[in-house]
Amino acid sequence: MLSPETYLRLETYFRELDHSIRLALANSLSPKDVAMAVLALADDAAQAHQLSATQISHLLECARVALTPLQITRAFARAGTQITRLRRDGETYFTLMTKGRLAIEYLIPQGPIEIVRIEAGRPRTGRRQLEQVLAPIAGLVRVCDPYYGVRSLDSLALIPAPCNVRFLTAITSEKATSLAGPIADFKRERPIIEMRILPPPISIHDRYILTSDTLLILGHGIKDIGSKDSFIVVVSSAYALDLISHTESSFDQNWSKATPL
């Protein structure tokens, strides 16, 4: 049972939660992962090992993220061995297990560099992983990928809708007639995503997604993510501010030379 002092400390902690984590929680599509992330954060911040669904919901509210106790209880019904349950005084309390902690690491960055492994032959899982990595980002987003196609649009759609996106590319193996309709439909639904193509002989080779404070280095193009073994390396500005600044400058130079797609 949490002491009043510990619970007050947790309320303050969640009200002052890091902005990137707050965004990740708010944008996550998995209530189960969000609730388990609260268990992890509470454990780290105050060694609060057990929380009820009502307490989890309240702490999320302190972070301005909405999830009801009923949603949490239903989500935890699918958590299996990722959590354990203890019934006390008519209330169920949940504890996060190691398996659960591993499942929500994408929501709680552990350092200036993170590496996400993408397995070959699992494109749906790969896109899900990409979506999870993209969930916390905000503001202006620069996306560089030399090759594009219809499936590039599926990956660009994973970027949170409020973001202003610039997609820079160069080459496609798909027919212009096959691309025209899907691109027009995509622009109609996501008008603040701007796409440009570099004319030859200018070329680009790097694949990355860049925000003001994070660089995501892609081992494989967003068009075919999950078709081969690859990695997404997430680099924080706290670790590589000069690299992020240089990459931003290089992107903007090429962007000024590119034409609308």
Q: Give the pLDDT of residue 34.
A: 94
Q: Which fold has domain 110-260?
A: Endonuclease; Chain A (3.30.870)
> How high does pLDDT run on average in the chain?
89
Q: At what angle do helices 31-46 and 69-76 cross, to 10 degrees?
A: 100
CA 8 → CA 43, 69, 90, 92, 108, distances in Å? 14, 19, 23, 21, 22
CB neighbours of residue 259 within 10 Å: 8
pTM of the model: 0.62
Percent of the chain scored above 90 by pLDDT? Answer: 56
Q: Which residue has better confidence, 185 or 44?
A: 185
Q: Give the pLDDT of residue 110.
A: 59
Above 80 in pLDDT, residue 185? yes
Query: CA-CA distance, 15 to 133, in Å (whole number)?
Result: 23
- Give the HSE-up count for residue 141: Cα atoms under 13 Å, Cβ half-sphere: 25
Give the SS3 label for residue 171: strand
- Domain 4-103 coded CATH 1.10.10: yes
Pairing of strands 113-118, 164-169: unpaired
- Amino acid present at 94: F
Pairing of strands 164-169, 140-144: parallel
List phi, psi (to 5°) of 42.
-65, -40
Residue keyed to tokens 């309240």: 58
Contact 82, 97 (CB under 8 A): yes
> How sure is the predictor about 132, in pLDDT bands with cuts at 50, 70 and 90?
confident
Percent of the chain scored above 70 by pLDDT? Answer: 98
Tens of pLDDT, residues 85-114: 999 989 999 999 999 998 888 787 656 677
Domain-wise residue ranges, the chain: 4-103, 110-260
Across 185-192, average pLDDT: 93
Q: Give the pLDDT of residue 109.
A: 63
The set of residues, in sequence order, having a beta carbon less than 8 Å from that of 174 and lying 6+ positions away, is: 149, 150
Tens of pLDDT, residues 46-85: 889 999 999 999 999 999 999 999 999 999 999 999 999 9
